């Protein structure tokens, strides 16, 4: 006779009934997204409910769910709504949520081991290689996000390019006497600043190269900086190409950068956090030419592959480079001759984390359910929607298109003749604030050439072009009101 485990449901029928209700509610919620505001503020009484103390005794799980339904569900970030285009968030494929649920049910950790979960992650990495035309001989690792991918890739670069790998890993950067430098455009995502800092390279040695009018790296300035650094006795390590900068979606001349990296014996890393998925479209192969010959690439599946957070991937061109930087052993995790601890593959040897969640399962579910062609159609639709938005902005005499990419980003603002820069910024801030706080639409913002701009990054499979017609109409209406107030 076993005793009942205290943390399992006392009544499995009650557990089952709640699960059925949750799934019913999920379907209603997702089917009715359009009818709800994109975002709404969290009311004070709801905020207060998150400041209660540690629960001492338990309460029925149906009541906990009820609390979630009334205090969490109505007040999210908004990125599953069809009119959310802020920052670089994705919209979330519903079936993937089942993958996440089931991953928690089987509760595997994916450091190492001979189990099916490990095989699913390996399969997902191989599918990504195929989707992105990445060499099959390469390797990879799923990570939480591209920030984690950048640091992983740069750590691999550092070991691969160190004068002596073992000495470098054993003695550390200081003893090796090498001062590395890293190169990328000034539009490179700030996660690279964090990575160089964490890796002991130092922020100052991340050389931020100026960009041209289209926000692409200035290759002449890059060459000059490399030359000066070599003359100064520094050790150029890595060149970063952007396949879609976060601000404007600019794509650096990736093949030219590849050639420079090869000439200079640099590790070539491409940040394709969202832009790498344009590779699903033959129309974009020329734009991304050179990307698949890089030494490493990061791509965020939770951005332009629409997966629920969090799942990203770092791919490497050569097998074994991640292990060269991260492998580590101990008696208590060593591989055995047979059984569950016999493993040819250890993801914990490819990155920082030992305990790793089974994030591959949601991707596996979604790719098997929809097929890569459906994802490619969604990506193509986003490209077309942003082109439509850009064309409408260009056609309007009270709107200015400040930047647009061939991917899914456009930046624009409301303008009028003789507007003072401060007034124009104030009005555009006001427009954005009304769009967001009234729950109408959720672009975000950035500053380009000193101008505050409204920024749209369309990683949303639920958007259609009419949503952008609505956005334009709202921006123009709010702009006219706020401009009038400025002139009063």
Ligand X SMILES: Cc1ncc(COP(=O)(O)O)c(C=O)c1O
Q: Rule CB under 6 A: say whether 189 interacts with ligand X.
A: yes
> What is the smallest separation between the CB atom of 256 and ligand X, expressed in angstroms?
19
**Of the candidates 265, 330, 255, which has an alpha carbon nearest to the alpha carbon of residue 294?**
255
Q: Rule CB under 6 A: say whether 300 interacts with ligand X.
A: yes
Cross-strand pairs, 186: none
Q: Rule CB under 6 A: say whether 408 interacts with ligand X.
A: no
Number of CB atoms found within 10 A of residue 465's CB:
15
Q: Rule CB under 6 A: say whether 406 interacts with ligand X.
A: no
Give the span between the Cα atoms of 174 and 85, in whole angstroms.
44
Cross-strand pairs, 456: 410
> What is the smallest separation between the CB atom of 404 and ligand X, expressed in angstroms?
16
Q: Taking the alpha carbons of 7, 68, 88, 304 in that order, is the dihedral positive or negative? A: positive
Nearer to ligand X, 145 or 479 (CB): 145
Which residue minimizes CB distance to ligand X?
A: 145
Number of CB atoms found within 10 A of residue 448's CB:
16
Nearer to ligand X, 29 or 194 (CB): 194
Q: Which stretch binds ligand X (CB under 6 A): 217-225, 271-279, 378-386, 434-442?
A: 271-279
Q: Rule CB under 6 A: say whether 88 interacts with ligand X.
A: yes
> What is the smallest separation between the CB atom of 246 and ligand X, expressed in angstroms?
4
Among 121, 271, 406, 458, binds ligand X (CB under 6 A): 271
Nearer to ligand X, 280 or 409 (CB): 409
Structure tokens at 208: 């931020």
CA distances from residue 130 to 124, 126, 141, 256, 326 in whole angstroms, order as listed: 10, 6, 15, 24, 25
Q: Rule CB under 6 A: say whether 250 interacts with ligand X.
A: no
Q: Rule CB under 6 A: say whether 184 interacts with ligand X.
A: no
Q: How many residues bind ligand X (CB under 6 A)?
A: 13
Q: Rule CB under 6 A: say whether 191 interacts with ligand X.
A: yes
> What is the smallest separation between the CB atom of 144 and ligand X, expressed in angstroms?
7
Q: Rule CB under 6 A: say whether 301 interacts with ligand X.
A: no
Q: Rule CB under 6 A: say whether 399 interacts with ligand X.
A: no
Cα first-last separation, the chain: 82
Q: Which residue has the tokens 């640091």?
A: 151
Furthest-apart CA pair in the chain: how many Å? 84
CA distances from residue 51 to 44, 99, 462 in whole angstroms, order as listed: 11, 31, 34
Cross-strand pairs, 259: none
> What is the smallest separation between the CB atom of 92 and ligand X, expressed in angstroms?
14
> What is the smallest separation between the CB atom of 71 and ligand X, expressed in angstroms?
26
Nearer to ligand X, 198 or 341 (CB): 198
Among 246, 313, 322, 361, binds ligand X (CB under 6 A): 246
Nearer to ligand X, 143 or 463 (CB): 143
Cross-strand pairs, 139: 316
Q: Rule CB under 6 A: say whether 238 interacts with ligand X.
A: no
Give the span between the Cα atoms of 11 and 34, in whole angstroms.
37
Phi, psi of 304 (to 5 degrees): -95, 20
Nearer to ligand X, 236 or 244 (CB): 244
Nearer to ligand X, 176 or 191 (CB): 191
Q: Rule CB under 6 A: say whether 351 interacts with ligand X.
A: no
Q: Rule CB under 6 A: say whether 273 interacts with ligand X.
A: yes
Give the span between the Cα atoms of 443 and 208, in whole angstroms.
27
**Which 8-state DSSP code applies to residue 211?**
B
Q: What share of the chain is helix, strand, coil (3-state, %, to 5)?
A: 50, 15, 35
Nearer to ligand X, 140 or 244 (CB): 244
- Residue ranges in 117-176 that form contacts with ligand X under rule CB under 6 A: 145-147
Nearer to ligand X, 215 or 343 (CB): 215
112 neighbors 343 (Cβ within 8 angstroms): yes
CA distances from residue 292 to 128, 144, 239, 300, 427 in whole angstroms, order as listed: 12, 22, 15, 16, 43
> What is the smallest separation between the CB atom of 407 and ligand X, expressed in angstroms?
11
Cα 75 from chain centroid (whole Å): 22
Q: Rule CB under 6 A: say whether 312 interacts with ligand X.
A: yes
**Which 8-state DSSP code applies to residue 57?**
S
Q: Which stretch binds ligand X (CB under 6 A): 178-186, 256-264, 268-276, 348-356?
A: 268-276
Interacting residues with ligand X (CB under 6 A): 88, 145-147, 189, 191, 244, 246, 271, 273-274, 300, 312
């Amino acid at each position: 006779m076993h005793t009942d485990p205290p943390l399992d449901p006392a009544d499995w029928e009650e557990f089952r009934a709640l699960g059925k209700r949750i799934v019913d509610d999920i379907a209603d919620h997702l089917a009715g997204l359009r009818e709800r505001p994109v975002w709404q503020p969290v009311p004070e009484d709801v905020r207060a409910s998150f400041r209660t103390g540690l629960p001492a005794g338990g309460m029925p799980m149906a009541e906990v769910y009820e609390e979630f339904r009334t205090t969490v569900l109505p007040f999210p970030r908004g990125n599953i709504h069809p009119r959310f285009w802020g920052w670089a968030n994705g919209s979330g494929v519903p079936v993937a949520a089942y993958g996440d649920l089931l991953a928690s049910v089987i509760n595997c950790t994916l450091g190492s081991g001979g189990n099916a979960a490990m095989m699913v992650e390996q399969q997902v990495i191989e599918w990504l290689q195929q989707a992105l035309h990445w060499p099959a001989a390469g390797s990879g690792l799923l990570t939480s996000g591209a920030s984690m991918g950048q640091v992983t890739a740069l750590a691999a670069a550092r070991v691969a390019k160190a004068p002596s790998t073992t000495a470098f890993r054993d003695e550390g950067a200081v003893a090796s006497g090498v001062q590395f430098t890293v190169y990328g455009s000034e539009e490179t995502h700030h996660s690279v600043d964090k990575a160089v800092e964490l890796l002991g390279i130092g922020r100052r040695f991340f050389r931020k190269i100026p960009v041209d009018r289209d926000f692409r790296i200035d290759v002449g300035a890059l060459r000059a900086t490399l030359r000066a650094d070599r003359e100064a006795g520094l050790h150029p390590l890595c060149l970063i190409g952007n396949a879609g900068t976060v601000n404007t979606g600019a794509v650096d001349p990736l093949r030219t950068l590849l050639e420079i990296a090869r000439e200079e014996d640099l590790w070539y890393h491409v940040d394709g956090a969202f832009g790498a998925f344009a590779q699903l479209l033959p129309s974009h192969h020329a734009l991304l030419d050179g990307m698949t010959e890089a030494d490493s690439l990061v791509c965020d599946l939770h951005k332009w592959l629409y997966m629920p957070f969090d799942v990203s991937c770092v791919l490497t061109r050569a097998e074994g480079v991640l292990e060269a930087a991260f492998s580590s052993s101990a008696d208590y995790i060593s591989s055995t001759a047979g059984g569950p601890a016999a493993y040819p593959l250890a993801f914990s040897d490819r990155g920082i984390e030992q305990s790793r969640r089974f994030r591959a399962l949601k991707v596996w579910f979604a790719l098997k359910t929809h097929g890569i062609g459906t994802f490619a159609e969604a990506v193509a639709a986003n490209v077309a929607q942003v082109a439509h938005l850009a064309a409408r902005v260009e056609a309007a005499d009270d709107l200015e298109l400040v930047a647009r990419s061939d991917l899914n980003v456009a930046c624009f603002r409301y303008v009028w003749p003789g507007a003072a820069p401060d007034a124009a910024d104030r009005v555009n801030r006001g427009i954005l604030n009304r769009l967001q706080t009234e729950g109408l639409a959720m672009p975000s913002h950035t500053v380009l050439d000193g101008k505050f701009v409204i920024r749209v990054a369309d990683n949303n499979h639920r958007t259609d072009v009419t949503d952008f017609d609505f956005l334009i109409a709202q921006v123009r209406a709010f702009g006219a009101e706020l401009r009038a107030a400025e002139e009063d």
